[in-house]
Structure 1
Amino acid sequence: MTVGGVPEASAPVGRLRRLLGGRTALWGAFGLVHAGLAWLNLAAMGYPLGDVTSVYRLWAENAADGYLRMGIDAPWVYPILAFAPMAASLAFGPEWYGQTWLAIVVILDAIAFAILLGARRLSRTRRLAAWWWVGFLALLGPIALGRIDAVTVPLATTGLLWAAGRPRVAAALLTIAAWVKVWPAALIAALVIALRRRADVVIVAVALSAGILAVSIVAGSGLNVAGFVAEQAGRGLQVESPLAVGWLWQIVGGSSAVEIVYDRDILTFQISGPGADAAAALTTPLMAVGVVAVLLLGIRAARRGAHLGRLLPPLALSFVVVLMLANKVGSPQFATWLAAPVILGLAVKPRRFAVPAVLAAGVALLTHVIYPYWYGWLLAAHPGFVLLLTAKVVLLVLLAVWGIRAVWQSGRAWDRRGPLAA
C-alpha cells in the first residue's frame, strides 16, 4: 500500500527525516543539550564548574574590589581578554556567578549555531554539521561549558565559517578568541595560508592585536600583558597531557619513583619523576616543530593551487591537533578545540570529513568518562583510566595522521576542486 505515493512502511521514516531535518528539531536539541550541560555543571559530582565558581570568580571579585587585576597588576596564565567574560559573569552578583557564566556561554553558542544554520534554506551539509555539534557537546559533557575555552569555540567556529566570504570579520573574531585563549591563533595561521586574501587577515590580526596591547599597557599592565607566555612555560607535565601517559603506566607498573603531585601555584596535578621535567621542557620545541611541519605542508598545498574548501578544514584541524598532542598541559577542556575545524569540514563536505568527525566524537566521549565524575581514578593512576587516557591519545594521533594526509592530498592536481560554505 502507498500513502500519497509513498510506500506505507517508509512513510513514518520520511516524516522522521523531515522532523529531524528541520530547524525546530535542531534548536530543540540544542536547547536540551545545553540545559542538560548547565545542570550537570551546577549539580553533578566532581565539581565540574569548580574553576569558574572558585578561581574565575575570585579573580573577578579581586579586580572589582580594586585589589588585583590579573594580567594588569600581575602576570597571568591567560591572555588579557580572558578577563572579559570572567568580569561579565559578576553582572548579577557573586552568588549567581556560575549561572551567569553558563548563560554567557550558551548565548555565544546559540549565535554561532544560528550562523551555522544560516538564514536561507537549510542545506544538508550544514544540517549534518549542526547535528554533529550538538552530539559532540553531549558526549563531551559539562566541560564543554565550564571553562574559558568554551568562550573561544563559538568565536572560532564562526570565524572559520565566515573565512571565505568575510575574511576580515573572520580574522577579527579569531584574533579576539586568541586573546582569550591562545589556541585560535593556529586558525589564523590556517587562514593566512589557505586564503587568497591573506593580506586582509594579517592586517586585521596585527592591527587588532596592537590595539589590545596598547589598551592593556595604558591600563598599566606593562610586560604583564605578555605574562601568559612565561606562565605557560613554567608549567610541569600535567597528568592529562599526552606525554604523561608513559609515566602513568610506570605508576601502574608499580614504580615508586614516579608520583602525581599538586602544584598549588598553577592549581594543577602534575607528574613528578625521572625525566618528567625534561619531557615538559621538550613540549615547546616539539610543538614548534609540529606547527612548522603543518605550516610547510599547508604552504605546499596552497602553492599547488589547493581549493580553499579542500585545504582549510584539514589544515585547521591539523594545527589544532598538533597543539593538543605536543602540550604539557592537556586539560580536558582542550577537546572543545576540535569542534570548530570539524564543524567547518562537515559543512563543506560531510562524507570527506566523516572519519575525523567520528574520531573527534570518540575523544569527546573518553574525555567525559575521565572528567569530571571519576577524575580521581586517573589521579590514582587506576589502570582502567590510564588505558582510557591512552586510547584518547591514540585517537588524537589518528586525527593528526588523517589531517596531515588530507592537507598533503589537497595539493594534488586531482584534488583541487571543492566547495566551501560561506
Structure 2
Amino acid sequence: MNAEQSSKTRRHLFALAAGWLATRATMLWLLAHDGMPRLGGGSVTREVWHLYHHWYVVLRHGGFPVHDALWQYPPGAGAVLLSPALLPGLTYFQAFVVLTLACDAAITAALAFTGARGHRTLLGAAVWVAGLPLLLHTPLARYDVEVTALAVISLLTLPRSTRACGAFAALGALVKVWPALVLLGTPRGRMTRSAWTWALATGTVALGLLAATFANPFGFLREQGGRGVQIESLGGTVLSFAVHAGWPGKVRYQYGAMEFTGPYVRTVAHVSLALTAIAFVLLLLWRLRARRWTPATPYDAALAAVLLFTVTSRVISPQYMIWLVGLAAVCLTSRNTVQRPVAWLILAATAVSAVVYPVMYGQVMACTWAGCALMLVRNGLLATAAVLSFVRLWRSTAAPQGMPGAPRRSPDSLGAGQAVPV
C-alpha cells in the first residue's frame, strides 16, 4: 500500500469511527426515550428490564429456567445474560447496554481491520455502521448483537485460523444455534476438517462446563415444540391477509411473541417446518455440488444459509435482521462476493422492519391493511433476497462448462481474487 492509499484508508477509518459514534449516540437517545408511543411505549426496553433480569436472577441461583415457556434458548445464552455482572457499578439494564455496545464496537473494528487489508474493502464496515441504526434502538435491548459478534468474528478469522473460526462458531451456536451455519461454506479438505473439528471440540467442552455448573441445561428443548406462527413471519403474513377474507383467527401473546391462534395455524406452522427442511436439503445439495471456491465463498454461503432459514421460520422477530446485516457486512469486506444486490435488499428490509416494530406494530397486530402491506413488503424483500442469494451462490461455485469433473486440488491456499476448482 503506497502513501496515498494509506492516507485514504486512514480518512475512511476516521469517517467510520465518527459515523459509529454519531449513530450509536442517536440509538442511545432513542433508548432513553423508549416510552414515547412511536418508539414502542416502553415495549423495546421491557424485555431487558423484566425478562432478561428475571432470568439473570434465576441463573444466579445456579440453574436454568424450568417450566418457563419463554426460555427457548441454548445454554450459552445463560452466559450472555449473566455477563452484566461483570460491571457491578451499574444497574443490570445499564450494564447490558454497555456490553452490547462493546460487542457492536468489536464487530465494527473486526470489519474495519479486515477491510483495510490487501484486496479487501471497507464497504462491509460501512454497511454495519449505517445498517444497524436502521433498527432504531432495538439492537441495544436484545442480545443478538453479541451472537452476531461471534458469527462475524468466526467468519473473519477463517483465512488465518480455522481453529478460531470453529471455536467462535461453536460458542455462537451455544447461544442461539444459527451461528453453526457459518461453517457451511468452509472450503473442502483440511480447512473444513479443522474448522468443524474445533467447533465440535469447543462446543462439547463449553456445553459440558455449562451442564456441570447449572441445573436443567436442556430444559429449553421442551418449550420449542409449542411455538406457533408469529405475526411477522411469512406464514403470519398469509394469515394476516386471510383475516380480511373472513378467517376467524386471533392474535395472542404466547411463547414470547405475538402469534396467531385459530383454524389452520398448525398447518401453516407445519408448512414452515417443511420449507425449512427443503432449505436444508438445498444447502446440502449445494455443498455436495459446489466445485469452485473464492475467498468470499464461505461468507456468501453463510449469508445464504441464514437467509433461507430465516424466511422459512415460524418466527421472524425484528432482531433477526441484526444477524443478516452482520453477515451481509462480512460479505462486503471481500471484492469477490456475489451477494452485493442481496445486501441492499437486506438493508431495505431492515429499514421496513423498524417501521413494523416498534413504529406501527399496533397496525400489524390488528391486521389492518396498512399492517398487512408493511409485512408484505418486508417479507417480500426477505424472500427475494433469500432466493437471489442462493441462486447467486450456486452459480458462483458451479463447475465451468466443459469441466467433466472436480480436480483433486485443495483450496486451502486461496489468495485474494483467486477462484479454484475443488
**Alpha-carbon distance in structure 2 between the residues aligned to 1:227 and 1:299:** 35
Q: Does structure 1 retain, via aligned residues, the 8 Å contact 2:73–2:220?
A: yes
**Alpha-carbon distance in structure 2 between the residues aligned to 1:343 and 1:256:** 41
| SS of corresponding position for 2:252 | strand
1:274 Cα deviation from its structure 2 partner: 1.7
| SS of corresponding position for 1:372 | helix
**Alpha-carbon distance in structure 1 between the residues aligned to 2:89 and 2:177:** 27
| 2:293 is equivalent to residue 296 of structure 1 | no
**Alpha-carbon distance in structure 1 between the residues aligned to 2:142 and 2:288:** 33
Change (3 A) 1:367 1:73: closer
One-letter amino acid matched to 1:58: H
Match of 1:112 among 107, 131, 145: 107
Change (3 A) 1:308 1:124: closer
Question: Which residue is 2:321 aligned to?
Answer: 335
Question: Which residue is 2:205 aligned to?
Answer: 211
1:419 Cα deviation from its structure 2 partner: 3.0
Q: Does structure 1 retain, via aligned residues, the 8 Å contact 2:338–2:396?
A: no
Question: Which residue is 2:407 aligned to?
Answer: none
One-letter amino acid matched to 1:63: L
Question: Which residue is 2:149 aligned to?
Answer: 154
Q: Does structure 1 retain, via aligned residues, the 8 Å contact 2:295–2:336?
A: no
Question: Which residue is 1:56 aligned to?
Answer: 52
1:360 Cα deviation from its structure 2 partner: 0.8
**Alpha-carbon distance in structure 2 between the residues aligned to 1:18 and 1:113:** 18
1:27-106 correspondence to structure 2 within 5 Å: 27-44=17-34, 45-46=39-40, 47=42, 48-64=44-60, 66=61, 69-70=63-64, 76-92=71-87, 96-106=91-101
Tell which deviates more after alignment, 328-337 or 144-153: 144-153
Change (3 A) 1:408 1:100: same
Q: Does structure 1 retain, via aligned residues, the 8 Å contact 2:76–2:210?
A: no
Question: Which residue is 2:404 aligned to?
Answer: none
One-letter amino acid matched to 2:148: V
**Alpha-carbon distance in structure 2 between the residues aligned to 1:322 and 1:130:** 24
Q: Does structure 1 retain, via aligned residues, the 8 Å contact 2:339–2:392?
A: no
One-letter amino acid matched to 1:229: L
Task: State TM-score, norm by structure 2.
Answer: 0.85
Q: Does structure 2 retain, via aligned residues, the 8 Å contact 1:40–1:142?
A: yes
1:320-348 CA distances to partner (integer Å, 9 max, x unpaired)? 01111111111111111112331222111
1:223-238 correspondence to structure 2 within 5 Å: 224-238=216-230
Question: Which residue is 1:10 aligned to?
Answer: none
Question: Which residue is 1:172 aligned to?
Answer: 167
Match of 2:369 among 383, 387, 397: 383
Listed as ranges, the gaps of 5+ residues in structure 1 are 1-13
1:62 Cα deviation from its structure 2 partner: 3.0
Match of 2:295 among 309, 319, 322: 309
Q: Does structure 1 retain, via aligned residues, the 8 Å contact 2:139–2:319?
A: yes
Change (3 A) 1:350 1:142: farther
Q: Does structure 2 retain, via aligned residues, the 8 Å contact 1:239–1:379?
A: yes
**RMSD over equivalenced CA pairs, Å:** 2.8
| 2:126 is equivalent to residue 136 of structure 1 | no
| SS of corresponding position for 1:299 | helix
**Alpha-carbon distance in structure 1 between the residues aligned to 2:18 and 2:309:** 34
**Alpha-carbon distance in structure 2 between the residues aligned to 1:321 and 1:353:** 12
One-letter amino acid matched to 2:201: A
Q: Does structure 2 retain, via aligned residues, the 8 Å contact 1:85–1:101?
A: no
1:63 Cα deviation from its structure 2 partner: 3.0
| 2:240 is equivalent to residue 240 of structure 1 | no
Q: Does structure 2 retain, via aligned residues, the 8 Å contact 1:108–1:151?
A: yes
Change (3 A) 1:196 1:285: farther
**Alpha-carbon distance in structure 1 between the residues aligned to 2:275 and 2:359:** 32
One-letter amino acid matched to 1:398: T
Match of 2:195 among 186, 196, 201: 201
Q: Does structure 1 retain, via aligned residues, the 8 Å contact 2:300–2:337?
A: no
1:300 Cα deviation from its structure 2 partner: 0.9
Task: State TM-score, norm by structure 1.
Answer: 0.85
1:119 Cα deviation from its structure 2 partner: 8.1
| 2:258 is equivalent to residue 269 of structure 1 | yes
1:118-161 CA distances to partner (integer Å, 9 max, x unpaired)? 28956684321111111111212222232121211111111111
Tell which deviates more after alignment, 121-130 or 394-403: 121-130
**Alpha-carbon distance in structure 1 between the residues aligned to 2:387 and 2:182:** 18
Change (3 A) 1:20 1:197: closer
